[in-house]
Chain A
Amino acid sequence: MADPMHQFEVTKIVDLPDFSIPGLGTIDMAFTNSTLAMTLAAGLIVAFFAAVTARPTVVPGRLQMIGEGVFSYIDNLTESIIGHEGRRFFPYVFTIFLFILVMNLLGMFLVFTSTSQLAVTATLGIMTILLVLIVGFVRNGAAMYKLFVPAGVPWYMLILVTPIEFISFALRPVTLALRLFGNMLGGHVALKVFAGFVVSLGALAAGGGLGLLAIPAAGLSLAGVVALTALEFLVAFLQAFVFAVLTCVYLNDVVNLGHHH
């Protein structure tokens, strides 16, 4: 059976000279298939929205309708979770949602999924949590400690609650990165495994004799591949959406610290 992990191998397309930062070590600057997929995703988003906004009309056409739909969907999301200040964080949430969505969808069409690389998802997770920390400290200053000390909790409970709140906050970037990575990796491995079944069972059936019994099993695997492909398209959207929602929720925690709305 074909190796299901082979599709996640990062290969160099154009080898560029290494870039060295004193004190940090060298960085391999090679243009890999992962970089290609990400560049393509970014290019597609820019091209799509350039096409959408090229000839804007008061009564939107089909293309403009799609673009405006995506735009207002995320706009409503930030507004409903963060509140009236949500619009200030809309550009970041919208960018990260589109980038992840297009990378996930490209993974369904190309051979490579950038979001199945932990390095990529970890970068996105770290970016998000850095934004949360910066916004939190700029807005609240030292009052950031309230994040770990929920209001209205008696002091003897705080001994227990504060460490739990702190650990759960520290784990946010980790789970953010691992959720996207694990979902995309797991889904694509399952797809490849089922596709491998079709081929190996088909080869068994081609041998004739008792091997012909493998034909229904191969057909079942093929149906499994089709169903999983549909599921993966759903997961591709859902994971981008979840990342956007969680970014909003974490931002809301520090933007509206201490007062619920």
Chain B
Amino acid sequence: MEAEAAKFIGAGLATLGMIGAGIGVGTIFGGFLQGATRNPSAAGGQFTNLILGAALTEALGILAFVLGLLILFAA
């Protein structure tokens, strides 16, 4: 296999890490909505925690994305 082709395949495989981040962020928002529909009065106070959890989870997906970019452009 050509090195160039392997690079593109590798970059594509690296971004698969974003699947996990997608599931994770979905779980967080799903959990928030479940809680929010049960007790809407407490929902507003948890907005910061919601965004914080989503951001921390998303960071791992972003790491995979940056890894893909590194394989494509830096190596």
Contact = CB atoms under 8 A, between A and B. Distances in A.
A182 B51 contact: no
DSSP majority for the A interface?
Answer: helix
B18 to A, nearest CB: 10
A179 B52 contact: no
Interface string B43-75: 000001001100110110011011001000100
A175 interface: yes
Contact of B52 (A5, A185, A249): A249
A175 B73 CA distance: 20
Given A175-B59, A242-B55, A246-B55, A182 B48 contact: no
B66 A245 contact: no
Contacts of B59: 175, 178-179
B51 A186 contact: no
A178 B66 contact: yes
Contact of B55 (A80, A179, A181): A179
A242 B65 contact: no
A178 B52 contact: no
B52 to A, nearest CB: 6
Contact of B48 (A77, A175, A178, A186): A77
A249 B49 CA distance: 11
Contacts of A178: 59, 62-63, 66
A183 interface: yes
A81 interface: yes
A241 interface: yes
Interface string A67-104: 00000000001001100000000000000000000000
A51 B72 CA distance: 46
A238 interface: yes
Contact of B62 (A77, A80, A179): A179
A80 B52 CA distance: 14
Nearest to A77: B48
A81 B48 contact: yes
A238 B66 contact: no
A5 B72 CA distance: 12
Interface in A2-48: 5
Interface of B: 48, 51-52, 55-56, 58-59, 62-63, 65-66, 69, 73
Interface of A: 5, 77, 80-81, 175, 178-179, 181-183, 185-186, 238, 241-242, 245-246, 249
8 contacts: A178-B59, A182-B62, A182-B66, A186-B65, A238-B55, A241-B51, A245-B55, A246-B55
Given A175-B59, A183-B62, A245-B48, 5 more contacts: A175-B56, A178-B66, A182-B66, A183-B58, A249-B52
